[in-house]
Structures are given as structure tokens and as C-alpha cells.
Amino acid sequence: MVFSSITFLFYFLPIVLGVYYIVPKKLKNYILLIASLIFYFWGEPKYILLMIFSIISTYIFGILISKSKSKKASKVFLTLSIIISIGLLIYFKYINFIIENINLWLSRKIDFIYVALPIGISFYTFQMISYLIDVYRKDAKVQKNIFKLAMYISLFPQLIAGPIVRYTTIEEQLENRKHTIQKFSLGVRRFIIGLSKKVLIANVLGELCNAFLGANESSVLFYWLYAISVMLQIYFDFSGYSDMAIGLGKMFGFDFLENFNYPYIANSITDFWRRWHISLSSWFRDYVYIPLGGNRVSKIKWLRNIMIVWLLTGFWHGAAWNFILWGIYFGIFLIIEKLFLGKYLEKIPKVFSHLYVLLLVMISFLIFNGDGVNQIMQNIGGLVGIGKIPLATPESIYYFKSYLLIIVVAVISATPIVKNFLNKKQEKKAGKIINILEPVTLIVLLIICTGYIIDGSFNPFLYFRF
């Protein structure tokens, strides 16, 4: 079940909200837990047992870590819990990738293992690990109520594709959270905005990407259309899901941290990763980079730490070499910026630093979305006409004219221009008009999105595969 589906929008969510707000406060967590398990069971019936096992395992290890009388014993329990969690992740997500490379490099003929990837396993595995590490560090109190811990791990708004919610972020909210009309309305607003990003922008750009991949001819113009569309599609797909997750959280009284902050206005790759998938980059910073020594070590070890983090970041996204190359690609540019380029980017006009970021990020997503090294090099080379391809063809001009409007809308929407404009107007007399028009606009957007979904203009969330 996905958020941008009729089943979720008009059956599951209204029923869960209705029951949630009818029952007494002491039963609300149980309703959310049952709803979350049903939500997961709907999409992955056979893997509900894996999730229940993971929850019980995390609960037991949390208790053992907190009650250990020595630091050494608690560290043993923490290490064992991480081995189990990462072991399950490796088996379900990476086992065939490992077998494939063993066969390739060692000339073996090991048979592949038929195993489907449990949806959201990368996200909830990281949440469980962060909880146990925080308990070990005494940054969080152990949760002695298994049902509350289960709700935290399986909470359906952020279960499938994040953001990665830290236990410390909602620890207090599990016990006591506020439910107000204002918070609920903000949640509805945020959810509809996210749904619109997904259905009206990401899905439409996905159609253009599919048209390029299925085209019989190529041109420089078509390669640029594809590169720009991929970059925008991935952003609106993932940030749209994060908006919906944050909005749903508010409807149920939770305050999740932001996961995106207009990354395409960044003026360096360092700044980009402070704005893009914030929950993932901060997770690797706090649980990998800093424990390795961060930048408080020798320069060689510092550079090593950066590359380890970005190698793991790429590998986290998927069991394929293009994701590993994607992580290494960013690691290299982050190192270059930290060593010398960063100080020059601060001095040059912002327009050039922005263009620098956009170009590098666009190329990065050609790597990210590529199917093999040959296709990646072909897509990058096509941007500059390698292969003696024409600048434009009738087909590429047709798609340029057909999708120009949505690309312009996407580019504007990827910046805070509209948000800043509305905020300024709201401070003046026009604020009353905006307050009236906003709910009407949201209702219209919901109706249009529903029409698109019914019409079948739908693509699965890209980050479901992670």
C-alpha cells in the first residue's frame, strides 16, 4: 500500500484516523501499532514475521544493554544486535550482489538465492540500530514497553521510505504528544503538498524519462531533457514522500524532523548534503563518521573516514555498482571541497557556485539511475554530443515542447521562491486572502491528484527499493 493510492487515501487513512481519534488516549498507541502492522502486511504479508522478529530482538537487546553491569558486557550485546540487524539486511538486500561478484571475480558458479527485498528494511534497520546505540550511549532511556517500541519501529507514516526517525526525536512523544486542530490541519496541508509533488510533478517527469529510455533516436537535446528530468523526478518523488510522512505524523500528533531543505539552491556539494536526505546524512555522521574519529584525526585518516561514509552511503541505496560509484563520486568532491575548493566557492558569485552544484548533482543522478557503466557513460557523453549525435531531432523537439511547462514548474517549485512570496504577502493585508484561498487550493490539488491516480498516471516511489 502506498500513500498515493486510492486504497490508502480513501479507505485506510480515514478509517485509521477515525478510530484513532475516537478511542481514549491510553489506546491510541495500540491503534497506531495495529494500523502500522496492517499497513506493512498489506504490501509484504510474508515479511511481517521478519519485522516482528526484528522488533522483539531490538527490545530484548535494549533491555540487556541497559541492565548490563559492565561497559564490556553492554558493548558485547550492542555488537551482537548490530551483527544480527546488519546480517539480515545483507542477506535480504545484498546476498545476490555478493554472489554475482564472487562468481565474476573468482570464476565460481554459485547459484543465486531467490529472496525478495522486504520493503523499507534499510530504513527500519537503521532506526533500530540508532535506538540501541543511543541506549548504549545513555542518550536515550531503554523502552520497557514492547508495544511502544514496536510502534516506533513500525510506525507507518515513515516506515517504507523514511525519513529515518531517531528514537530520541519522538521518545517523549511516544508517552505524551499533543493533538490540536492546528497541528492536524498543518499535517493535512503538508500531506497534500507532498502528494502533489509525487503525482503532479514526479510522475509526469517519470513519463518523460520512460519516453527517453524507449526512444528510437537520440540527440543532445534529448539527453539534457532526460538528465534534468531524472534530477527533478528523484527530488520530487522522495521529498514528496517525506512531506507526506511528516504530514501524517502531525495528524497523529508526532513532530518528525525535516528531511529536505531546498537542496538545489545549495552553493557547494557540502551544502547540498546538509539539505538532501538530512536524516540519512546525519545518521552516517553520528553513527559512523564521528565514531571513526571524524576530522579529529590525521589528515589521511580523516579522508579515509569521509570515503568510508560515502562508500556506505552509496551501498545503502542499492545492491549495484552504480550506487557505489555514486557514493564514491560524492565522497571525492566533498574531499576536494574540504581540502581547497570550498574556500573559492565562497568567494565567487553565487550564480556560478549554484551552477557548479547543479551540474555535478545532475551527473550524479545519471550515475545513480544508470543501468551499467556503459549506459552511464553514454548518458553523460550524450550531454556533449559524443557519438556524433545531432543537437536535436523532431522527436526531442516534440518532447521539449510537451514537457517544458512541467519542467519550469518543477524548477520553480524546487526553490523557496513561492514559499517566500506567500510568507511576505501573508504578513501584509493579502494574508487574509491567502488564508481563504489556501484550503480551496489544497482541495483542488487533492481532486486533481485523485484524478491522475484513477487515470493510472502512477509510478511506485523510487525509494521503496532502498
For residues 219 and 365, give the distance between their C-alpha atoms in angstroms, rounded to a whole number: 19
Largest CA distance in the chain: 74
Q: pLDDT category, 454, cuts 50, 70, 90?
A: confident
Cell of 283: 545518521
pLDDT at 428: 66
pLDDT at 419: 84
Q: 410: closest CA among 222, 258, 206, 116?
A: 206
For residues 355 and 358, give the distance between their C-alpha atoms in angstroms, rounded to a whole number: 5
- pLDDT > 90? residue 44: no
- pLDDT > 90? residue 153: yes
More confident residue, 275 or 430: 275
List the domain boundaries for the chain.
Answer: 6-180, 183-465
The mean pLDDT value for 404-419 works out to 93
The mean pLDDT value for 65-73 works out to 89
pLDDT at 411: 95
Asked if residue 135 lies in contact with residue 142, where contact means CB atoms within 8 angstroms, the answer is yes
Q: Which residues contact 461 (CB under 8 A, 6 or more apart)?
A: 2, 4, 160, 161, 198, 237, 238, 241
For residues 204 and 197, give the distance between their C-alpha atoms in angstroms, rounded to a whole number: 10
For residues 35 and 387, give the distance between their C-alpha atoms in angstroms, rounded to a whole number: 54
Q: pLDDT category, 431, cuts 50, 70, 90?
A: low
pLDDT at 112: 86
| Structure confidence by residue, pLDDT tens digits, 243-256 | 999 999 999 999 99
**First-last CA distance in the chain:** 16
Cell of 6: 486510492
More confident residue, 258 or 216: 258
Cis ω for the linkage preceding 163 (within 30 of 0) = yes
**Which is the catalytic residue, given 179, 277, 317, 354?**
317
The mean pLDDT value for 364-372 works out to 90
> How far is CA 34 from each of CA 38, 128, 168, 211, rounded to the nearest angstrom?
6, 19, 22, 41
| Structure confidence by residue, pLDDT tens digits, 324-344 | 999 999 999 999 999 999 889
- pLDDT > 80? residue 406: yes
For residues 418 and 187, give the distance between their C-alpha atoms in angstroms, rounded to a whole number: 19
Q: 188: closest CA among 450, 327, 317, 13?
A: 13
Residue given cell 481514549 in the structure block:
24
Binning the chain into helix, strand and coil, the percentages to the nearest 5 are: 75, 0, 25
For residues 164 and 285, give the distance between their C-alpha atoms in angstroms, rounded to a whole number: 13
| Structure confidence by residue, pLDDT tens digits, 376-390 | 999 999 999 888 889
Task: Look up residue 72 and give its DSSP letter.
Answer: H
- pLDDT > 60? residue 316: yes
Residue given cell 550564480 in the structure block:
351
Residue given cell 545503502 in the structure block:
316
- 354 is a catalytic site residue: no
| Structure confidence by residue, pLDDT tens digits, 155-207 | 999 887 778 999 998 888 988 888 999 999 999 999 999 999 999 999 999 99
For residues 210 and 212, give the distance between their C-alpha atoms in angstroms, rounded to a whole number: 5
pLDDT at 464: 52
- pLDDT > 80? residue 466: no
The mean pLDDT value for 222-249 works out to 95
- pLDDT > 70? residue 259: yes
| Structure confidence by residue, pLDDT tens digits, 103-149 | 888 888 888 888 888 888 899 999 999 999 999 999 999 999 999 99
- pLDDT > 80? residue 242: yes
Cell of 150: 514496536
For residues 93 and 3, give the distance between their C-alpha atoms in angstroms, rounded to a whole number: 23
Q: pLDDT category, 460, cuts 50, 70, 90?
A: low
Q: pLDDT category, 459, cuts 50, 70, 90?
A: low
- pLDDT > 60? residue 219: yes
User: Is residue 289 within a helix (H) or strand (E), and if so which, with residue range?
Assistant: none
Mean pLDDT score across all residues of the chain? 90
The mean pLDDT value for 17-41 works out to 93
Of 9-18, 432-441, 457-466, least confident by mean pLDDT is 457-466
The mean pLDDT value for 258-274 works out to 95
pLDDT at 306: 96
Question: In this prediction, what percent of the chain has a pLDDT beyond 90?
Answer: 68
More confident residue, 220 or 423: 220
Q: pLDDT category, 286, cuts 50, 70, 90?
A: very high
pLDDT at 457: 54
CA dihedral sign, ordered 67, 72, 75, 76: negative
Q: Give the Cα-Cα-Cα angle 64, 291, 466 (nearest 5 degrees).
A: 80
